[in-house]
Structure 1
Amino acid sequence: MLDDAARPVGSAGARDDHPVASVPACCRGVGPARAFETRGDPHLDRLLGLAADIADTPIAAISLIDGGREWLKGCGSFQGLAGFAQAPGACPHGLEADGAVIVHDALADPLRRSHSFVTGEAAVRFYAGVPLLGLGGDTLGWLAVADRLPRPAFSGRSRTRLRRLARIAAHLLEAGPTGAAGDHADDFLDATQFAVLISDDLGTITRANASCERLLGYEPGTMLGLNVRAIVPARFHGPHTAGMAAMVAGGTPRLAGKSVEVTAVRKDGSELPIELSLSSWRGGAGLAIGAVIRDISERRHRDARLLRLAHQDPRSGLPNRNRVVEELTAMQSSGGEAILLMLGVDGLRSANDSLGYAIGDALLEALSVRLTARLRSGALLARIQGDELAVLLPGRADPLEAQACAQSLVSACAEPIQVGDHPLHVGVAIGAALAPNHGTDAEEVLASADLALHQARRDGGRCFRLFEPVMRSAEAARRDLIDRLRIAAERQELELHYQPQVDLESGRICGAEALIRWRHPERGLLPPAEFLPAIESSVLALSVGWWTIDEACRQTAAWRAAGLPAGRVAVNLYAAQLRSGTLDAVVTEALERHGLGSADIEIEVTETIALRPDDSMLRPLRNLHESGVGIAFDDFGTGFASLSTLKRFPLTKLKIDRSFVRDILTDPFDAAIVKGLLDIGRGLGLSVIAEGIETAEQEAALLAMGCRLGQGFRYAKALEPDAFARRLAADACSLAEVEASETKQAS
């Protein structure tokens, strides 16, 4: 379609009927003679194809004028096309104000209707030509399009794009690459993976390599002549135009030599993020602006994902602690107020442990939906860690509103949550802090709410506590206590005392419960209420728990070696010991080390521990039960354990809590509960022992109900090992006297 070389009119096919000397003065301005090498120029070939596409014409040509001779490069055999534009006397009949020549119908033009292009083989009826103007304003030639059909109009948009192409053509002719170096540069631009775009001082795209065309969705060559605004979002046209104007005026581009992340527009109108590196230079064709463009969509997606992960809990999809801190910080920075609730979810961890994380995640999702339904608009529900959630309520820091919201969330957990075939029970303990009352920054407010949550959990859970300054000092005291307990364990200041367990009918000792005491060097002997909660809530629970088992076995073996009739010794279990998964191995090793049998020790499990079991936690208990170690359920009925819990645990004994025994004579409900527990124990084949017996009347009532084992101050408080040994000896002596008396009477 396109000629491969410029052809001088004076050679084969030349036309001499319109010499340059006959061009009207208004169309002159031709500069000094110059030579243009255009042979095989792919850029001009592409540019002519674009011109034909823009005008939707079958004919497009570039006519070059050089020192009285005309040079042509174009479509078909249309030599002398510039002469058609510059026919003698033609200017008043087609010359536009911008120098373009538009002929809508050549047959209607008295100056052109007899032209050979109209009457001859070409049969041109429509013509549009734009002068190629050099830097000095001289006319280098013409960029023209033509058609064999007349046209009533030629749109302003098409004329504008044709004029842009003429500017590009002029630049290519005056300052385009020449020789091997230019060829190599073009080859490099088309081969590089980076998108490269070059425009002139008006923003007209003069070069776009293949990578740029692919990136922005353009067909090869179709970006030439466009204004760079075509790839700039409309909302940024104002800043873009101002920046271009500053560069043309000679200002230093602020982005020159820098990389900036901006948004580009593809041909289809979609947007994509790019990294743009700008540079500018002045050459023979004037100011040029170059841009190296990189698609950063993948990086943006990666950054967005990292940002999302930084502000979102990956398992639940809820906002995380970082998000709460940012929101709270923003509120406080603007002088706003807020309520922060910290929720400790009881039952979530056990669901993960016993049923797997898939069920645990489903439970968390269902719980989030249920809690969100109880929150007002604008509240933020987040997951802080593990089984702790947070609710941020922007607005007035009102303690009453905090309490009302907390109570609503607590009641939301009253009914079980059905996850598949599993009806799962959860409960929440809630601590609250007010911003800015309880903290000058977000971290301090979070810490205050966390302290309130710890207090709510220590108070039994399923309740609400508002932060008080005393909690901070109490927490500091608790940490000091834990540090001191660690030292106490190292110095062997912890010791076990033993409270007798008796047969109610005979009054003889049948066992003992080992209870921990702390012999403080300054304060003397401390009861467990003063330090046991600190042990249970710290990492000391495991080490102290293993020591308790070993010490109880050692002492029992010592009594046996002394000939004392020590019965089975019960040892209280910490939750950390059950979670460790090694309970059975530790107990078995302690029994073997001290030469005891499995029937010599009993493990007591509290109701709090029983609420969180899974197969991995129950397996050690089952192993111990099968080996003959006793398993007692302590404090049953005082919390939230159900009767089904008794079915799951491998129990040998059920302990009736002292709170039911205390008012057994005056409260018919307590009496009914005790009788019911005795019936359940008998029905399940468990021995039952009543704690907290203090009077003979209580003992008699229990005996009448069928209770055979008891423990309490009526028989003895917890005794030091030596004192307990004396009781064992006295009990053995009494038993010997009774047996001797019975033998004498029998004889």
Structure 2
Amino acid sequence: MLDDAIRPTGAAGPTDRDTVATAPAGCLGMASADTCEPRDTFGLGRLLGFAADIADTPIAAISLLGGNREWLRGCASLPGLTDFAHARGACPHGIEADGAVIVHDALADPLRRTHAVVTGEAGIRFYAGVPLLGPKGDILGWLSVADRLPRAAFPGRARTRLKRLARIATERLEAGRAGAVRDHAHSFMGASQFAMLISDGVGTIRLANPACERMLGYEPGAMLGLNVRVIVPARFHGPHTAGMAAMVAGGTPRLAGKSVEVTAVKRDGTELPIELSLSSWRSEAGLAIGAVIRDSSERRNRDARLLRLAHQDPRSGLPNRNRVVEELGAIQAGGGEATVLALGVEGLRGANDSLGYAIGDALLEALSVRLTARLDAGALLARIQGDELAVLLPGRADPLAAQACAQALVSAFAEPIQVGDHPLHVGVAIGAALVPNHGSEAEEVLASADLALHQARRDGGRCFRLFEPAMRSAEAARRDLLDRLRIAVELGELELHYQPQVDIETGRICGSEALIRWRHPERGLLLPGEFLPAIEASVLALSVGWWTIDEACRQTAAWRASGLPAARVAVNLFGAQLRAGTLDAVVAEALERHGLAPADIEIEVTETTALRPDDTMLRPLRNLHASGVGIAFDDFGTGFASLSTLKNFPLTKLKIDRSFVRDLLTDPFDAAIVKGMLDIGRGLDLHVIAEGIKTAEQEAALRDMGCRLAQGFRYGKALEPHVFASRLAADAGHPAALPLADLRQAS
């Protein structure tokens, strides 16, 4: 274009003596000026040569506003050339109507004669400059010619050709800027860790950066020219082609500006989950479509792990409460029916505490296998919390079916579970709730099943209870009671009363059983049945249990200090005290604190509590037994204990439950059971005491069977400490042959 349009005859561009240098960098992305390398940027050297030839001047320059960049010919430096062109002042000299600046003699120009390009080394006298106009008509800089000699005139033809050169220079500078931007864009895409791809309107890949090639398994440059369909799974070719056609037809891409999860095909044919962000634009070359692609495999795996954690118990691998809530919610939303069973596993916590969580987790896993084997295929077994499981039975809201399923699950607990060298005994209580009968929301249904479970536990465990609305009000009352009990403990309203235990042969008191009473400020003295179950099922059990041991020891020491023959006192335990694993230490500390011997106290363990012994429970009991503390098995025969239980427990005494004594005279089976227990006791060298004796006939029958120790209303109810002290005093003041009638009269 330059050769054909503006080159004057004989023009050859810059000579060997000419220098085209770039001044300071910073504008339009040109090369740095710190080196001031002689070079012909964007072909401007040739253009300056043409300008010098047109004007017949030794000096030509292109300078941008602000001195950001300058290209020179025939001069080493022209400082502030753009300022020279823009004459400051109210009446600028040399500016023509078309924007050109013509200065015939700079020394004659009052605004320019002191300028550095005039007074300095360059010594400019003549100057002609035409503006470089941007797309909006703004002045970007100047194309200038200059001479060290003044001139009387500057031909109009030369000025016209300079203006044409100025337009060409502007185009080249703009092209250079766009090229620099493209270079930066290419560099950015090449260095980016995100995969980027550009295709044209027919889907031909025009650019794929290295990250894209690596992600999809292509060699460098191998994707260029391929159709973008190669990375689209075949099953999506139809929608892809339709979308491309709509975009070519001028439609707005529905995915533009959005991030979507799709699947890409790699070079080897494997599929890869990706996150895709699309954009499109139109240029002279037509439609272009750009995509930023991210491999979402790791994020999907992470999300899947998080989803599993959100719906799976990490220790057992079973679904968790969230999963049950979601499944229940879906059933309720669809108007379906279901049954929820809440299983309270007894013994799991003890295994964790005594043997470690590894054994506890193995126990839970083995138990899960057992339970699953007894469930229908559609049932969902989940772990709700520590020792509580749940079973969701979709499609059934039948109380009989729920009971049948519960019985099958209870049978899974009949045999101990062998974990390594440990045969572990666990038990279960089960509560059930029905959908939609017992709750309109998932959490309400679970709460109903939990209330039924609490009732099953209060009823002794190893049983099934279906939710009843009354349980909810009972639970509220229980909570109120528990709140009041906390206050009672703090205020010291709980006290121990003592029921005599006597030797039938002599009639003398040989011991006592400490029983808790609550002296309520409004209701008076409350018996254990009104509040003890609430304590047993709460965190108060441990603190109240430890207080009971200490108080019994304190009272026994006080009686002994007053000269009374205080015999051994029996103290009942809560299950929490056995599970704590510190019973031996607490008892030993209480005995030492009150100056008592181990033989002065007896620990009573109920059969229900002792059904599933483990090291956490047995070790403290064995230690106490070895030290001389008595261990009594209370309520023997009322539960499920076997003779092997007696063998495993370090016992000193069996207590025959009152339910067998009550019908001893009328029921041959009860009489046989009592006789059998007495024989077992003698065979195992254990003391045996019968509870609940009310009549002389019952006492005589027991004496004939060989029973020596007795407890019951015939010998006195549980007495306040001072009343019991009077009984002890009376008992001590009479010979051993004191008639029982006189003893009863003293009570």
Answer yes or no: same fold by TM over 0.5: yes
Note the 1:424-503 alignment, pairs <5 A: 424-503=424-503
| Aligned match of 2:292 | 292
User: Which secondary structure state, in structure 1, belongs to the residue aligned with residue 639 of structure 2?
Assistant: coil
User: Which secondary structure state, in structure 2, belongs to the residue aligned with residue 610 of structure 1?
Assistant: coil
Instruction: Give the Cα–Cα distance (whole angstroms) in 2 for the partners of residues 472 and 616 of structure 1.
Output: 34
User: Which secondary structure state, in structure 2, belongs to the residue aligned with residue 640 of structure 1?
Assistant: coil
| Aligned match of 1:338 | 338
1:431 to 1:725, Cα distance in 2 relative to 1, 3 A? same
1:482-531 superposed Cα distances (whole Å, 9 cap, x missing partner): 01111111122111100011111111011111000111122211110111
Per the TM alignment, residue 736 of structure 1 is displaced from its structure 2 partner at its CA by 8.1
Note the 1:267-666 alignment, pairs <5 A: 267-353=267-353, 355-417=355-417, 419=419, 424-666=424-666
The alignment status of 1:204 with 2:176, answered yes or no, reads: no
For residue 381 of structure 2, what is the amino acid of its counterpart?
A: L
| Aligned match of 1:224 | 224
Instruction: Give the Cα–Cα distance (whole angstroms) in 2 for the partners of residues 584 and 426 of structure 1.
Output: 23
Per the TM alignment, residue 725 of structure 1 is displaced from its structure 2 partner at its CA by 0.9
1:353 to 1:609, Cα distance in 2 relative to 1, 3 A? farther
State the identity as a percent. 85
Is the contact made by 2:425 and 2:613 (CA closer than 8 Å) also made in structure 1? Answer: no
Is the contact made by 2:579 and 2:617 (CA closer than 8 Å) also made in structure 1? Answer: yes
Q: Which has the larger radius of gyration?
A: 2
1:390 to 1:636, Cα distance in 2 relative to 1, 3 A? same
User: Which secondary structure state, in structure 1, belongs to the residue aligned with residue 345 of structure 2?
Assistant: strand
TM-score w.r.t. length of structure 1: 0.71
User: Which secondary structure state, in structure 2, belongs to the residue aligned with residue 609 of structure 1?
Assistant: coil
Instruction: Give the Cα–Cα distance (whole angstroms) in 1 for the partners of residues 360 and 582 of structure 2.
Output: 24
For residue 571 of structure 1, what is the amino acid of its counterpart?
A: V
For residue 247 of structure 2, what is the amino acid of its counterpart?
A: M
Bigger CA drift: 474-483 or 583-592? 583-592
1:365-397 superposed Cα distances (whole Å, 9 cap, x missing partner): 343334333333422222222332222222242
| Aligned match of 2:240 | 240
User: Which secondary structure state, in structure 2, belongs to the residue aligned with residue 371 of structure 1?
Assistant: helix
For residue 541 of structure 1, what is the amino acid of its counterpart?
A: A
User: Which secondary structure state, in structure 2, belongs to the residue aligned with residue 647 of structure 1?
Assistant: helix
1:557-596 superposed Cα distances (whole Å, 9 cap, x missing partner): 2211221111111111111122223322222222222222
Is the contact made by 2:273 and 2:296 (CA closer than 8 Å) also made in structure 1? Answer: yes
Bigger CA drift: 185-194 or 465-474? 185-194
Per the TM alignment, residue 357 of structure 1 is displaced from its structure 2 partner at its CA by 4.1
Is the contact made by 2:675 and 2:705 (CA closer than 8 Å) also made in structure 1? Answer: yes
Is the contact made by 1:260 and 1:276 (CA closer than 8 Å) also made in structure 2? Answer: yes
For residue 683 of structure 1, what is the amino acid of its counterpart?
A: G
Is the contact made by 2:500 and 2:715 (CA closer than 8 Å) also made in structure 1? Answer: yes
For residue 267 of structure 2, what is the amino acid of its counterpart?
A: K
Per the TM alignment, residue 257 of structure 1 is displaced from its structure 2 partner at its CA by 3.8
Instruction: Give the Cα–Cα distance (whole angstroms) in 1 for the partners of residues 577 and 425 of structure 2.
Output: 24
Per the TM alignment, residue 224 of structure 1 is displaced from its structure 2 partner at its CA by 1.7
Instruction: Give the Cα–Cα distance (whole angstroms) in 2 for the partners of residues 487 and 416 of structure 1.
Output: 41
Instruction: Give the Cα–Cα distance (whole angstroms) in 2 for the partners of residues 719 and 495 of structure 1.
Output: 11
1:584 to 1:417, Cα distance in 2 relative to 1, 3 A? closer
1:307 to 1:583, Cα distance in 2 relative to 1, 3 A? same
User: Which secondary structure state, in structure 2, belongs to the residue aligned with residue 480 of structure 1?
Assistant: helix
For residue 699 of structure 2, what is the amino acid of its counterpart?
A: E
1:357 to 1:176, Cα distance in 2 relative to 1, 3 A? farther
1:6-25 superposed Cα distances (whole Å, 9 cap, x missing partner): xxxxxxxxxxxxxxxxxxxx
Is the contact made by 2:499 and 2:514 (CA closer than 8 Å) also made in structure 1? Answer: yes
For residue 464 of structure 2, what is the amino acid of its counterpart?
A: F
1:623 to 1:404, Cα distance in 2 relative to 1, 3 A? closer
Per the TM alignment, residue 688 of structure 1 is displaced from its structure 2 partner at its CA by 2.0
The alignment status of 1:683 with 2:694, answered yes or no, reads: no
Per the TM alignment, residue 717 of structure 1 is displaced from its structure 2 partner at its CA by 0.7
Is the contact made by 2:500 and 2:716 (CA closer than 8 Å) also made in structure 1? Answer: yes
1:672 to 1:421, Cα distance in 2 relative to 1, 3 A? farther
| Aligned match of 1:110 | none
Instruction: Give the Cα–Cα distance (whole angstroms) in 2 for the partners of residues 699 and 294 of structure 1.
Output: 88
For residue 704 of structure 1, what is the amino acid of its counterpart?
A: D
Q: Structure 1: where are the runs of 5+ without partners?
A: 1-36, 38-174, 740-747
1:347 to 1:627, Cα distance in 2 relative to 1, 3 A? closer
1:389 to 1:634, Cα distance in 2 relative to 1, 3 A? same
1:736 to 1:346, Cα distance in 2 relative to 1, 3 A? closer
Per the TM alignment, residue 470 of structure 1 is displaced from its structure 2 partner at its CA by 0.6
Is the contact made by 1:350 and 1:612 (CA closer than 8 Å) also made in structure 2? Answer: no
User: Which secondary structure state, in structure 1, belongs to the residue aligned with residue 734 of structure 2?
Assistant: helix
User: How many positions carry a matched residue from both structures?
Assistant: 566
Is the contact made by 1:350 and 1:613 (CA closer than 8 Å) also made in structure 2? Answer: no
Instruction: Give the Cα–Cα distance (whole angstroms) in 2 for the partners of residues 427 and 614 of structure 1.
Output: 12
Per the TM alignment, residue 219 of structure 1 is displaced from its structure 2 partner at its CA by 2.6
User: Which secondary structure state, in structure 1, belongs to the residue aligned with residue 522 of structure 2?
Assistant: coil
Is the contact made by 1:579 and 1:617 (CA closer than 8 Å) also made in structure 2? Answer: yes
1:726 to 1:422, Cα distance in 2 relative to 1, 3 A? same
TM-score w.r.t. length of structure 2: 0.71
1:336-375 superposed Cα distances (whole Å, 9 cap, x missing partner): 2222222223444444455554444444334333433333
Per the TM alignment, residue 176 of structure 1 is displaced from its structure 2 partner at its CA by 13
Bigger CA drift: 642-651 or 355-364? 355-364
Instruction: Give the Cα–Cα distance (whole angstroms) in 2 for the partners of residues 417 and 626 of structure 1.
Output: 29
User: Which secondary structure state, in structure 2, belongs to the residue aligned with residue 735 of structure 1?
Assistant: coil
1:374 to 1:576, Cα distance in 2 relative to 1, 3 A? closer
| Aligned match of 1:42 | none
For residue 576 of structure 1, what is the amino acid of its counterpart?
A: A
For residue 286 of structure 1, what is the amino acid of its counterpart?
A: G
Is the contact made by 2:580 and 2:616 (CA closer than 8 Å) also made in structure 1? Answer: no
Per the TM alignment, residue 645 of structure 1 is displaced from its structure 2 partner at its CA by 2.4
1:589 to 1:346, Cα distance in 2 relative to 1, 3 A? closer
For residue 637 of structure 1, what is the amino acid of its counterpart?
A: G
For residue 621 of structure 1, what is the amino acid of its counterpart?
A: L
Instruction: Give the Cα–Cα distance (whole angstroms) in 2 for the partners of residues 240 and 478 of structure 1.
Output: 65
1:386 to 1:598, Cα distance in 2 relative to 1, 3 A? same
User: Which secondary structure state, in structure 1, belongs to the residue aligned with residue 263 of structure 2?
Assistant: strand
| Aligned match of 2:140 | none
Bigger CA drift: 716-725 or 690-699? 690-699
Per the TM alignment, residue 438 of structure 1 is displaced from its structure 2 partner at its CA by 0.9
Is the contact made by 2:341 and 2:391 (CA closer than 8 Å) also made in structure 1? Answer: yes
Bigger CA drift: 706-715 or 474-483? 706-715
Per the TM alignment, residue 248 of structure 1 is displaced from its structure 2 partner at its CA by 2.9
